[in-house]
Amino acid sequence: MIRFLDKKLFRYLSIFLFLNSSILPVNSSSALAAWVMKTNGVLELRTKSNTNLKAYFQKANQIYGDRFWIDFPGELKNPRTINGNGLIKEIRLGKPTKGKTRLVIEFKKEGYLRPLTWRMIGLDKNRWRIKLFSSKLLLKSIGEGVVEKRIRNISANKNFNNKEKRTQDFSQLPYVKQNKFSVVIDPGHGGPDPGAIGIGGMRETDVVLEVSKLVKKLLSERGVKAKLTRKNEVDLDLPPRVSFANNTDADIFVSIHANASRGKRRDINGLETFYYRGPRGRLLAKKIQKQILRVSPGSPDRGVKQGRFYVIKNTKMPAVLVEIGFLTGRLDARRLEKTAHRKRMAYAIAKGIIEYLSKVG
């Protein structure tokens, strides 16, 4: 800050300063949890509770356009640049000094901005908003993570010891390179083939279609191209699912299913993920299995296994088949009938996929 002021070259304006009692240790993780720059000109942020924010504006010069930035305590793991659109040139997430995170919005050099009118508004202990410009200057919103969603506690079964899981934040997917990867999601069964029938007549085809659509949506929002083999209740044989994936040159193929036990035993619950070949298939299966278990406390880990299912055997990219629980099991079925759990499951699968893509890509 001082350094900038000393250089008279820049007209430098510090517009806000927020202070409070909570100070994070230098080596803690970034206090910035999620952000979105909306098309109506509003920047929204979600941070750790009671975070100190410092925001600045600097007018354009020969090198940069107008820049607005916010410093957060806690160190950013992966500095990155996200391309802008419309009025915004780019958005950068950086590490200006050790133990800090900086979010920079750089504008194109047109001077539409009126920073003296800007006001940062605290919506909550962990949420902020500021209107930076009028609408229509940004064509498409840009952001990472979910800002609006409150931290949700998972406590489906209080008898299990899930302290860590209950405090997990389900609202943020990790960053992944934009528009680099393409994924095919295959909702099992469909049309005249309902798949497993569970407690209360719950049908596998319905459950996995909803989960698959949510996975596609989450991935798309995160900049990963995602396609479904079926979007509704159609009769789709296995070979077309495979040729669809092979023809679209997908990086990975994920088939989503739900289980039924022989004799519809209510005491059999659990999650499992199959792959057919290769260390990549196995890694993808492991990443997904780990995440789906986290949202299903108490449901047994039936493991990552090799399986000879047609769709994972004949697709040419790393491919897995996920079983997201037993529709016939008391514990799993009670959850899978709820939209909230299907959302958590979709989030978990998307997270496993992104973790895999970030590692391998």
Distance of closest approach, residue 224 Cβ to Zn ion, in angstroms: 24
Piece of 56-64, 189-197, 248-256, 291-299 that binds Zn ion (CB under 5 A): 189-197
Long-range (24+ apart) CB contacts under 8 A made by 302-306 are 302/270, 302/271, 302/272, 303/272, 303/273, 304/272, 304/273, 304/274, 304/275, 305/272, 305/273, 305/274, 305/275, 306/274, 306/275, 306/276, 306/277
Among 257, 286, 341, 344, binds Zn ion (CB under 5 A): 257
Neighbouring-strand partners of residue 68: 57, 105
By rule CB under 5 A, what count of residues binds Zn ion? 3
329 binds Zn ion (CB under 5 A): no
Q: Where are the beta strands (DSSP E) in the chain?
A: 12-17, 32-37, 42-47, 54-58, 67-73, 80-83, 88-94, 100-107, 121-122, 127-131, 142-144, 182-187, 225-228, 252-259, 271-275, 301-306, 319-326
Compute the distance between CA of residue 10 and CA of residue 6 in angstroms, rounded to an integer: 9
Task: Tell me how crowded residue 104 is: count the other CB atoms within 10 A of its CB.
Answer: 19
Q: In this complex, which beta carbon is closest to Zn ion, that of residue 151 or of residue 228? A: 228
Piece of 108-116, 179-187, 192-200, 329-337 that binds Zn ion (CB under 5 A): 192-200
Query: Which residue in 63, 61, 77, 71 sits closest to 29, CA to CA?
Result: 77
Q: In this complex, which beta carbon is closest to Zn ion, that of residue 69 or of residue 326? A: 326
Piece of 50-58, 154-162, 219-227, 253-261 that binds Zn ion (CB under 5 A): 253-261
Compute the distance between CA of residue 70 and CA of residue 15 in angstroms, rounded to an integer: 10
Q: In this complex, which beta carbon is closest to Zn ion, that of residue 4 or of residue 309? A: 309
Distance of closest approach, residue 206 Cβ to Zn ion, in angstroms: 12
Distance of closest approach, residue 290 Cβ to Zn ion, in angstroms: 21
Distance of closest approach, residue 193 Cβ to Zn ion, in angstroms: 9
Neighbouring-strand partners of residue 42: 131
User: Which residue has its beta carbon closest to Zn ion?
Assistant: 257
Compute the distance between CA of residue 50 and CA of residue 18 in angstroms, rounded to an integer: 10
Piece of 36-44, 252-260, 311-319, 339-347 that binds Zn ion (CB under 5 A): 252-260
Q: In this complex, which beta carbon is closest to Zn ion, that of residue 165 or of residue 257? A: 257
195 binds Zn ion (CB under 5 A): yes
Dihedral over Cα of 63, 69, 74, 78: its sign: negative
Q: In this complex, which beta carbon is closest to Zn ion, that of residue 195 or of residue 281? A: 195
Piece of 26-34, 96-104, 250-258, 337-345 that binds Zn ion (CB under 5 A): 250-258
216 binds Zn ion (CB under 5 A): no
Distance of closest approach, residue 145 Cβ to Zn ion, in angstroms: 32
Q: In this complex, which beta carbon is closest to Zn ion, that of residue 24 or of residue 215? A: 215
188 binds Zn ion (CB under 5 A): yes
Residues shown for the chain: 361
- Return residues touching Zn ion (CB under 5 A): 188, 195, 257
